[in-house]
Structure 1
Amino acid sequence: MVDQNPEEYYLEGVLQYDAGNYTESIDLFEKAIQLDPEESKYWLMKGKALYNLERYEEAVDCYNYVINVIEDEYNKDVWAAKADALRYIEGKEVEAEIAEARAKLEHHHHHH
């Protein structure tokens, strides 16, 4: 299909993810990413699927892409997911705690 919509790949990926088909979901999230690499949620879900396959380093790479490349560093869901993945990686306890703290941080961009 020409001109495929990344959201369609994403939504199909989420369905596969929810069904426990993590490998299939990763393929779909990657297709969405190829079409729109700046969309944080595609990377977040790809990371979560990798996490469920116990591919923790690769999951962290996805979250770091959101934080460092897309510069969506106020994305609490990404920090929380990163903390979860780091807990399973030897020697990353301190980074996990930092990520967890960032997930709970209130950032001051909103007006009261």
Structure 2
Amino acid sequence: MSSFMSISHNLKPSILVSPSLHHSSSFPILLSSKQPFSLTHPLNLTRRIFLPSVSGIWDALTGANNNAREALLAIRRGMSLFRQGDVSGSLVEFDKAIQLDPRQKAYLWQRGLSLYYLNRFEEGAEQFRFDVAQNPNDTEESIWCFLCEAQLYGVDEARKRFLEASSCFYF
């Protein structure tokens, strides 16, 4: 068996991750290209990555929405501020991204993390629920929504409200 693990989700790319390459502090996830692209291992793109990227590229090419590019820059600034410990500043940037391009809200799980760490659990749960509505197979957002709602309603009630997400893992 290979030392690489293939993980496949319905709406997420197949990723080959080497345990020796994974570092919890790394961002974005380190990908391995050890296994060649083939028809049996096609490159899968998620809606989370594909739609915002394509819409941003299309807008840039057509000049239809210059705000999309600025929104993506605001998201990058927000992620950087979050990593630096400026959670409030990150939220300002994520909100700015939504103001510039409302399509981004469906994919801004990072905003939900900022809301959680600012103890704004109701808004955080709402953000994660919105994200899961757009991407129902996203396990992480379901867990973060649970954590927000556990703070609001207690663990038992949060468990009742838990968002089921289906994932497939292949080892």
**TM-score by structure 2 length?**
0.51
Shift of 1:19: 1.2
Map 1:53-72 → 2, pairs under 5 A: 53-68=118-133, 71-72=134-135
2: CA distance between counterparts of 1:17 and 1:54? 15
Q: 1:37 to 1:99 in 2, by over 3 A?
A: farther
The structure showing larger relative contact order (alpha-carbon pairs under 8 Å, at least 6 residues apart) is 2
Q: 1:38 to 1:92 in 2, by over 3 A?
A: farther
Which structure's residues are more often strand, by fraction?
2
How many corresponding residue pairs?
101
Q: 1:32 to 1:64 in 2, by over 3 A?
A: same
**TM-score by structure 1 length?**
0.73
Q: Does 1:85 align with 2:85?
A: no
**Cα deviation 1:18-61 (Å, max 9, x = unaligned):** 1111111111001112233333332x111110100111111111
Contact 2:149 2:158 in 1 (8 A): yes
Task: Point out 4+ residue stretches in structure 1 off by more than 6 angstroms.
Answer: none
RMSD over aligned Cα atoms:
2.5
Report the equivalent of 2:167. 106
Task: Tell me which structure has the larger Cα radius of gyration.
Answer: 2
82-91 or 19-28: bigger deviation: 82-91
Q: Does 1:22 align with 2:87?
A: yes
Amino acid corresponding to residue 30 of structure 1 in structure 2 = D
- Alignment match of 1:7 (pick from 57, 72, 87): 72
Contact 1:59 1:82 in 2 (8 A): yes
Q: 1:55 to 1:9 in 2, by over 3 A?
A: same
Which 5+ residue runs of structure 1 have no aligned equivalent? 108-112
Which structure's residues are more often helix, by fraction?
1
Which 5+ residue runs of structure 2 have no aligned equivalent? 1-65
